[in-house]
Each structure stands twice: as structure tokens, then as C-alpha cells.
Amino acid sequence: MRNAGLGGWPARRAQMSPNRTAFVFADRSVSYSEVHERTTRLASRLRDAGVRAGDRVAYLGHNHVAFAETLFATHLLGGIFVPLNFRLTAPEIAYMLTDSGASLLVYAPECSAVVRALPALPGLRTVVALGSPAPGETEFESWLSQGDPTPIDIPVALDDVALILYTSGTTGRPKGAMLSHANLVWNCFHMLIGVDVASTEVTLVSAPLFHVAALNQTLLPTFLKGGTSVIMPSWDVDQCYDLIEKHRVTWMFGVTAMFAAFARSPRWAHADLSSLRTLMSGGAAIPVALIRAYQERGLTFCQGYGLTETSPGATFLEAGESERKVGSAGVPVFFANVRVVRPDLTPAAVGEPGEVLVQGPNVTPGYWRNPEATAAALTEGGWFHSGDIGVLDDEGHLHIVDRVKDMYISGGENVYPAEVENVLFEHPAVAEAAVVGVPDQRWGEVGRAFVVPRAGAAVTPGDLREFLLSRLAKYKIPVYFDIVGALPKTGSGKIRKPDLRGRPLAAGTEAGTEE
């Protein structure tokens, strides 16, 4: 087989384990042999539509088996897959389709209104609908079924670009991070090493697949090993409990908001979670109090650290260290290197905050058609500047402190919002918290906390301030507290802090004193 990339995986898996279940979606199970046949037929239809090596194929929709089929079919032809955030508006989607130069779009019914609102895009030649197509569009299933099942073997090199993943766009226009087939393969190796992924793995894919973690940390490693991916269309706490019990799920990934909601459920205390072997989180530091809640439930909780640009795994805390090093993001994954440096790029001392740099075969070759951004992010030797602040302890474990851009300076002292959020999360009435720096005439900047109370709980700014006083230095305690119903989030579940910084101080926002 001349295809060294992901496009060859369905054929290889079908040869090794044809009758094993690759995907479960709703009441449907799909074997590896079926995945191979369907992706081959779909690839032939993409080829008929003019897709060639290097061409971009976009997908817009909730998690679905068709997402994986479109990815593998695109890679079978040597094309580049562009997963899009289904929470975005038509102008945002139009920008990404134009910037990537996508010639074909597959979309799901829940995104039909957005697709209908797209302006005319000259480069977008074919639009395929999973649901009822509009005039000029094609219906996915009937189109696929008419495809040619004859095997396709087009040369694809590991260094060829496989994905363009657009960043969340929390500041300015989103950038398209390129990931090669080699990036994805090496990341899978890291997961197989760090999690001991088994051929009998039953993985719950509950985070959005357009996000690098759900795709590269769960679905692809599970497929590579011949396990089963149980795909949730979107996150739902009760459905998560149901699927874990029904399919005896062994492994799942989530972000803080997902794991917090799961632990707040009335089902938490009594649900049968005995099948779960590994729970995994990454993307942002997760409060230690939340990790402890899972450990007290008898569950193994492993945290990692990474970014879209690192495919994403850069560090990982393996199960054996998950209790002793709780709160740590672990050590560098097996084939990568991680440094923590000062602004002059000299190594930070043990316990000294600095920027996290990552080097290895999992690191992006750069940003799509954006050489300036690539040059700014990648320094000599292929070190990627993460923009995150971390510290290394005396055993080389990484602890993520915050984003460089989220840190603020109050009265000459650095304040890391993630530290304050961690402490706020320990309050029994707090479900979620986000802290940002806001201008202050006296101190330069002070903290403003946005707090979501737990269901049925009441909390006041005074309660929170009193709680923090015995736990944090006074300069770290927010001056303003907003009690809110929800926090704005990106498609990957991260809190959109620029949205919070832009909110004017409103009635009910309580200010304290700074000493």
C-alpha cells in the first residue's frame, strides 16, 4: 500500500479485524470492514467531484460516523480534511472555507441554517448534506452508496498535510494549524504508551470531534488499536451515564466543564462506573478539587497538557502517578521535549514560572498560508511557543499556571487567574469560575471574578471574598465579583475570557477593597 497516511487505516484495520465494531452511534454499529467499504465508496465520489491530492474537504456538524468516514475518504485521496466548529456563525464559517480553499463541504442537518446563510464562495464546488439537500446540493447516503468500492491506493507521505484545524479565534482571526499525517501518527503512539490503549478499548467520544483532543486523543488511537468508539452527537450528562453503563465504556476524555457537570449529577453517587479504566482531561488546568472528587469515587483521573499545534499531546500524567502528582500535567510524552523558559529563552529554575515550549514529531509544521504566524510561533530547532505559563517541579513534572495573555499585574505583582479559579472551585457553592484582570487607576489592574453557583446553591460576593482571604494573598483576591448563570465558551469548551474582559461593570457587581 502506497498510502502511508491515515487514508490507509480502514483497509489495514479491515484486513486485521474486519468483524470488530469500529463505531457505535445511536442504535447503529459499524464494523471495520464496513468502514473500509464505505470510505472507499465515499472517496470515489469525492474523486468524481474533483478532489485530488492536496485539495481541502470541509465538514460541518455534530459528532457523527460520517465525520470519520469523510476524514478517512479525504485522506485516501491525499486530500486535506478541514473540520469546522458547528457553533460558529455563517460569516465565521465562510472565512474558514475561503481561507482553507475548501472545494467540497459535507454538513449535517443542524447546520443547515448556517450553510443557507453562506455567501457565494467561488471555490466551493460541491455541497453534500447529511439530511435533506437544498437545490444544487447532494444527499450524503445516496451519493456514497453509488460510489465505486474498488480499492484506491494513491501515494501519500507521512509528512503530507492531513488536517487544517482552526484555532478558537479568541483573539483576532482564527489561524489554520496544519497537522501532518506524521503528527497524528506520533500522537497516537504517545496515547498508546501513556494510556495503554487496548484492542478491547471502548472509548466514549463525547467532546466535539472538530476539536483536536476528541479526534486525536480518543477516536484515532482507538481506531488504530482496533477498539470501539462510542460517538455522542453532543455532550449530554444523562446520555453520558447511559452510554457508559450500556456499552461498558473504559476510556473517556473531557474538559473541566464536562467533568464538573458529570460530578454534579444526581446519578453520580450511585451510577455503575466500574467499567471506566481511565478518565482523561487536557486543554486547560483542571481544578485539583474536581480531580479529587473523581479519585474519591474510585476513578483514575489522568491530566495531560497540549495544544492544537502539538497534535495535541505534549505532556501526560500516567495512571500510576495520578494520585501522587494530582494537579500535575505530567512529564513530556515519550517522543517529545518540553522546556519552561524565561523571556530571554534561558531555562527557568525549578518552581519558576515561564513559557512552555514544545519540540517533537507531534509539533505542527506551521499555519496554513500564514508564514508570519508560523515564524512567530516556531523558533530555531523547531521549538513551538505555546503562550502558556508553567512551572517544572524537582521531578520534571509540568504544572500549568496560566496563559501568558491571561496573567495580569496588580501593584507590581503577577497574578495568575488559574490559581484563583482553582481556589474558588473549592467553595462548595461554586460550579464554575473565571477570573480576568481589569484596569484600575491605583493598582494598574485588579481581578474580576465571574462565578456560576451550583444548582440550588446561593453564594454572595462577600461569601467568596471571605473564603479567599484565608487562602490567597490579598493582592490575588478579585476586587469585583459577578454572580452569573453561565460562562461564554469556545467550541472546545474553554472559557472565552476576552468576552468577559469586555463586559462593563454592571449593577450587582460587587467591589471589594485592595490593600
List, in order, residues 6 or more apart from 200 with CB less than 8 Å away.
Answer: 227, 250
With cut-offs at 50, 70 and 90, classify the pLDDT of residue 171.
very low
pLDDT, one tens digit per residue, over 371-386 is 999 999 999 899 999 9
What sign does the CA torsion over 190, 195, 196, 197 have? negative
Quote the CA–CA distance of 507 and 504 in Å, as a whole number.
Answer: 10
So what CATH class is 6-157? Answer: alpha beta
Quote the CA–CA distance of 454 and 87 in Å, as a whole number.
Answer: 25
Element containing residue 279 per DSSP (H, E):
strand 278-281
Strands laid side by side in the 444-453 sheet: 430-440, 444-453, 480-483, 510-511
Q: What pLDDT score does 404 carry? A: 75
For the chain, give the percent of residues with pLDDT over 90.
79
Inform me whether the pLDDT recorded for 513 exceeds 50: no
Cβ contact 398:329 at 8 Å: yes
- 328: cell is 500535575
Query: In the chain, what are the domain boundaries?
Result: 6-157, 183-403, 408-511
Cβ contact 279:301 at 8 Å: yes
Q: What pLDDT score does 284 carry? A: 63
For the chain, the straight-line distance linking the first and the last C-alpha, in angstroms and rounded, comes to 69
So what CATH class is 408-511? Answer: alpha beta
Q: What is the mean pLDDT of the chain?
A: 93
Displacement of CA 194 from its chain's centroid (Å): 18
59-73 b/e with 16+ CB inside 10 Å = b? Answer: bbbbbbbbbbbbbbb
pLDDT, one tens digit per residue, over 71-85 is 999 999 999 999 998
pLDDT, one tens digit per residue, over 265-300 is 999 999 999 999 999 987 666 788 889 999 999 999
Displacement of CA 81 from its chain's centroid (Å): 17
Quote the CA–CA distance of 384 and 379 in Å, as a whole number.
Answer: 7
Strands laid side by side in the 366-367 sheet: 138-139, 126-129, 104-107, 56-60, 80-84, 161-166, 176-180, 366-367
Quote the CA–CA distance of 64 and 38 in Å, as a whole number.
Answer: 14
With cut-offs at 50, 70 and 90, classify the pLDDT of residue 435.
very high
Q: What pLDDT score does 283 carry? A: 60
Mean pLDDT of 4-33: 98
pTM of the model: 0.85
- 232: cell is 455522542
Query: For residue 351, what is the DSSP state?
Result: T
- DSSP letter string, 168-189: --SSSS--EEEEEHHHHHHHHH
Cβ contact 416:354 at 8 Å: no
Inform me whether the pLDDT recorded for 227 exceeds 60: yes
282 closest CA partner among 261, 306, 262 = 306
Distances (CA, A) of 89 to 336, 468, 492: 36, 39, 15
Q: What pLDDT score does 285 carry? A: 64
Inform me whether the pLDDT recorded for 443 exceeds 70: yes
Q: What pLDDT score does 446 carry? A: 92
Inform me whether the pLDDT recorded for 324 exceeds 80: yes
Q: Do domains 183-403 and 408-511 have the same CATH topology?
A: no
Bigger pLDDT: 502 vs 364? 364
Fold designation for 183-403: Rossmann fold (3.40.50)
293 closest CA partner among 328, 262, 251, 315 = 262
